[in-house]
């Protein structure tokens, strides 16, 4: 998981990962999306591949790259624990607020007749 975190720490690598998430692309096609050299893109692809986030397939002399969703699975599971914990806290806060609101409404309903009686006198 540490390698995956380091690999996606750079914006450029996240952008590359997004490009190959939906289609298989050659290094040249990937490089065409960026204002950097092909060797620089190859270096980024190598880091992504070593981290298990990108798969490489040879077709003749070309190398084609695609995202490996299973490579992100461990990272995703780790991040979801934080997301799930935040959602649970938010849910508890919302439920507490709802209980408090219901209690206040019930309390106000009980007070209304007295308030109305006091206004009449």
Question: What is the per-residue pLDDT for 33?
Answer: 96
Q: Is 89 or 17 the better-scoring residue by pLDDT?
A: 17
Question: What is the per-residue pLDDT for 76?
Answer: 82
Q: Per-residue pLDDT for 28 more than 90?
A: yes
Alpha helices by DSSP H, the chain: 2-7, 11-20, 27-31, 38-50, 69-120
Q: Under CATH, which architecture does the 2-67 domain have?
A: Orthogonal Bundle (1.10)
Q: Per-residue pLDDT for 114 more than 60?
A: no
Q: What are the extents of the domains in the chain?
A: 2-67, 72-121
Which range, of 2-6, 64-68, 115-119, averages the lowest pLDDT?
115-119
- For 93-102, what is each residue's pLDDT tens digit? 888 888 878 7
Q: Is residue 65 within 8 Å of 30, Cβ to Cβ?
A: yes
């Amino acid at each position: 998981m540490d390698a995956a975190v380091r690999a996606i720490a750079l914006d450029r690598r996240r952008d590359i990962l997004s490009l190959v998430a939906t289609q298989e692309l050659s290094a040249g096609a990937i490089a065409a999306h960026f204002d950097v050299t092909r060797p620089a893109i190859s270096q980024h692809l190598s880091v992504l591949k070593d981290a298990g986030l990108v798969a490489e397939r040879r077709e003749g002399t070309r190398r084609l790259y695609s995202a490996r969703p299973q490579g992100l699975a461990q990272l995703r599971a780790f991040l979801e624990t934080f997301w799930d914990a935040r959602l649970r806290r938010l849910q508890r806060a919302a439920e507490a607020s709802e209980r408090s609101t219901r209690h206040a409404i019930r309390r106000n309903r009980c007070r209304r007749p007295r308030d109305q009686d006091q206004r009449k006198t």
